[in-house]
Amino acid sequence: MTGASELRKKGTFTLNDTSPHIRPAGKTNDVSNEGAQFCLSMGERPSTPPEIKKYRQSTIHEPGKIVKHYGLSDDKVKDGPFGYVSQSAGGSHESVNQVMKSYPTSDLMIWEREQREQVYESAKREPLGKSMARGHNIPESISTFGSKIDAKFKDKNPEAKNLIYPVGTELDEVKDLPEGEGDGLHGLYVRTHGNYAPGEQRRRNYNWDAAGFKPDAHVFGITEKQPYHNGVAKALTQNIDQATKLIPRAVSDFKLANTQTLGQSKNLGQRNRVGVGESHIFGVPSRRVEEWGVQQLICGDYSMNDQNPDPDLGKSLRSGFRNESKDSERVFGAPSIRSDLTAPKVKSVADNQNYGNELGAFSLIYPSNALNGGLADEEYLSPRSADELFEIFGRFCHNNEDMFKSIFDYATRGLDSESPTCSAAHFLQAKRELEMKSMGF
């Protein structure tokens, strides 16, 4: 309760103290900086130190401020106003109107400015309003934009486009072409661009007469002496009805020794040896004695007799040690609830034996209302006299002695005693039975 009292004082704990008059034991711990609240509450992040803040991009490019290099961040700004002193403050300066009026407005002023600028080389090579003078002497016949384009000079001075793409030129005008390269404009394109028509044969102007044959009728390559028929059919059916070929033994042995067979080792001349089969393993074994492998270590190698249960499983094989009872329903051992023993009148604190007079699990889970008031269940079973029961249950009988006596006599029927006694439980049971009989049940 010490921790609960401290938390209740701080307002972080709402459990009520059921025993405020009892002084809490132990020491009070200070839990001001502990607990789940302080673990889940995050403090503010520390700010960037000033000596590092000037290097961050967020500081250099801060909105609304002039971008300054971090090397100038520690420089002090000089005192005093910046720029020119205004005329109203007593200073003298040139206004915008005076600056605009500095350009010469008369011819005399322009001539005077040109005379002053003649001493500069840039004024001679790059005059104002003209292109740069590089000192080239261009003939007078060549104007600024080249030759004139006019109907008078069109036929005499053809353009470069017509030289590259001679559109509209008559075929007869293209002359002096080599023999065999075509005639006219097409022959010209064949010679310059290799522009052959689809399916056109390329002619290289060979002297076929000197070779002694005509290219239109001659066939190049080797021809068969006898005609060969059904070549495609023979190629598709070459494995059918294949004739046996006789080859030398040396060729077959060489092929057998040097050919890599799929799924088999290379033939080194050691096959078909006497006493050596396909399952033969060459070399010296690494283990002299047969040892268990991993599978045998995990699964074991036990016979069916070894896998049977032991004969002494669940029973003793030694004579005199067999606890066999003739009663099949006999239970060995001492019971946990010793109802066979008489419960002591005063039970010791060290005695943890249950004598059958303790409450069961149902009473512990669902205690009665009387038990919460301090009344045990044994009080309902203890015998009481008629006067004691009338003091307890007189209200149920509306303090009517005749009604109480009839219930008490019904509860103590069959008892041969001058002063009969009855328990509270039997009295209530007798009262319920009489009420059921009066109602016709």
pLDDT at 13 over 60: no
Specify the range with the lowest mean pLDDT, choosing from 79-83, 176-180, 279-283.
176-180
pLDDT at 7: 46
Model pTM greater than 0.95? Answer: no
HSE-CB of 281 using CA atoms within 13 angstroms? 3
Q: Which amino acid is at 233?
A: A
Report which of 53, 46, 4, 47 is spatially closest to residue 29, judged by C-alpha positions.
Answer: 4
Please state whether 399 falls in left (phi above 0), alpha (psi between -120 and 50) or beta: left
**3-class state of residue 59 by DSSP:** helix
Sign, CA torsion 387/392/395/396: negative
The pLDDT of residue 350? 92
The span from the CA of 188 to the CA of 177, in Å, is 7
pLDDT of residue 93: 60
pLDDT of residue 2: 45
Highest mean pLDDT among 25-39, 201-215, 312-326: 201-215
pLDDT at residue 108 above 70? Answer: yes
- Residue 101, SS3 per DSSP: coil
Q: What is the pLDDT of residue 353?
A: 92
Helix boundaries (H) for 78-230: 96-100, 107-117, 121-125, 160-164, 184-193, 208-211
Helices 386-393 and 401-411 sit at what angle, rounded to 10 degrees? 120
pLDDT greater at residue 184 or residue 390: 390
Is 150's pLDDT higher than 60?
Answer: no
Q: Is the pLDDT reported for residue 183 higher than 80? A: no
Residue with the larger pLDDT of the pair 431 and 203: 431
**Torsion over CA: 349, 355, 361, 362 (sign):** negative
Summary mean pLDDT of the chain: 77
Does 167 score more than 60 pLDDT? yes
DSSP 136: -
Residues 380 and 423: beta-carbon distance below 8 Å: yes
- Domain map (residue ranges) of the chain: 2-40, 50-74, 148-198, 379-438
Nearest to 392 by CA among 359, 370, 372: 370
| pLDDT over 80 (residue 100) | no
Which is more confident, 272 or 192? 192
Q: Tokens 């590092």 map to which residue?
A: 52
Least reliable range by pLDDT among 55-69, 79-93, 277-291, 313-327: 79-93
178 band by pLDDT with thresholds 50, 70 and 90: low
For the segment 98-119, the average pLDDT, to the nearest whole number, is 83
Query: What's the pLDDT band for 119 if we cut at 50, 70, 90?
Result: confident
pLDDT band at 351 (very low <50, low <70, confident <90, very high): very high
pLDDT-derived band at 118 (thresholds 50, 70, 90) equals confident
Q: Please list the alpha-helical segments (H only) found in 168-230.
A: 184-193, 208-211
User: Which amino acid is present at 328?
Assistant: S
Query: Is the distance from CB of 392 to CB of 428 less than 8 angstroms?
Result: no
- Six-digit token pair at 254? 């060489």
pLDDT at 171: 46
Report the candidate in 345, 340, 377, 367 with the shortest Cα–Cα distance to residue 355: 340
Segment 144-161 mean pLDDT = 57
Residue 439: pLDDT over 80: yes
Q: What is the mean pLDDT of residues 199-226?
A: 82
pLDDT at 3 over 50: no
Phi, psi (deg, nearest 5) at residue 193: -115, -5
Residue 8: pLDDT band (50, 70, 90) is very low
User: Count of CB atoms within 10 A of residue 427's CB?
Assistant: 22
4 confidence band (pLDDT: 50, 70, 90):
very low
